[in-house]
């Protein structure tokens, strides 16, 4: 995408359709509340972000150390919003549809070594694990984000023991590509990860979303 064909999502606006925008037939009568990445992370998310960054969550994340204080969360959010404005990254709040409660984060950023490639990351608070929330959130986000960021492929990685993360990746169409060793600043050590990849052409953007 170039010039006027580029999709623009200003901070503070919903990046994805609200469930209120769907036709009535799209709402299962007894469906439980489900999350969606509806907005960029915001300063008011700092306290909840800090509280949810527990050992069970941080252990799988390379750059979210413990303790993760409210001040650190505020700084992370400020950086996330700045990089979104510069179109280098996108950090969204995964929220409960009915209440707006923050459940976690989902992130996409251009890699330094290849601006045509984006890295996907995500996490949820412990109370929200194993409910399929991230699969829904990531599947909704990726086609929009790929078109917006104008990248050719998306990569995600996780430690070999993180079966839940690989399930999310596979549900989004990512497939195993290679093993790699990365530096995890959260623990100040090198760690083995498995890298999964999906090409842009394998993702279908929503109707009306510009593509290159």
Which of 134-143, 186-195, 202-211 has the highest average model confidence (pLDDT)?
186-195
pLDDT at 60: 98
pLDDT, the chain, mean: 82
44, 12 in Cβ contact below 8 A?
no
Q: Quick: pLDDT tens for 123-154.
A: 999 999 988 888 888 888 888 777 777 889 99
Q: How far apart are CA 156 and CA 174, in angstroms?
A: 8
Shortest CA distance to 121 belongs to which of 156, 76, 92, 149? Answer: 156
Q: Is 104 within 8 Å of 124 (Cβ atoms)?
A: yes
pLDDT number for residue 37 = 52
Q: Is the pLDDT of residue 178 over 60?
A: yes
Kindly state the average pLDDT of the residues 98-120. 91
Alpha carbons 76 and 41: distance in angstroms, whole number: 10
Asked if residue 35 lies in contact with residue 99, where contact means CB atoms within 8 angstroms, the answer is no
**10-14: which pairs have CB atoms within 8 A and are 24 or more residues apart?**
11/40, 11/81, 11/84, 11/85, 12/39, 12/40, 12/42, 13/39, 14/38, 14/39
| Strand pairing class (102-110; 153-158) | unpaired
């Amino acid at each position: 995408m170039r010039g006027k064909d580029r999709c623009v999502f200003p901070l503070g606006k919903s990046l994805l359709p609200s469930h209120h925008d769907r036709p009535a037939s799209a709402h299962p009568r007894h469906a439980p509340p489900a999350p969606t990445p509806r907005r960029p992370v915001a300063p008011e998310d700092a306290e909840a972000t800090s509280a949810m960054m527990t050992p069970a969550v941080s252990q799988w994340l390379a750059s979210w150390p413990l303790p993760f204080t409210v001040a650190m969360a505020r700084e992370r959010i400020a950086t996330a919003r700045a990089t979104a404005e510069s179109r280098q990254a996108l950090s969204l709040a995964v929220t409960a549809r009915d209440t707006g409660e923050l459940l976690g984060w989902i992130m996409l950023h251009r890699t330094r070594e290849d601006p045509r490639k984006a890295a996907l990351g995500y996490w949820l608070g412990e109370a929200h694990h194993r409910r399929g929330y991230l699969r829904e959130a990531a599947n909704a986000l990726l086609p929009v984000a790929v078109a917006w960021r104008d990248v050719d492929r998306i990569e995600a990685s996780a430690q070999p023991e993180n079966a839940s993360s690989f399930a999310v990746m596979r549900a989004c169409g990512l497939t195993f590509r290679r093993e790699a060793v990365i530096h995890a600043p959260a623990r100040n050590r090198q760690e083995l990860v498995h890298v999964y990849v999906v090409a842009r052409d394998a993702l279908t953007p929503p109707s009306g979303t510009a593509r290159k």
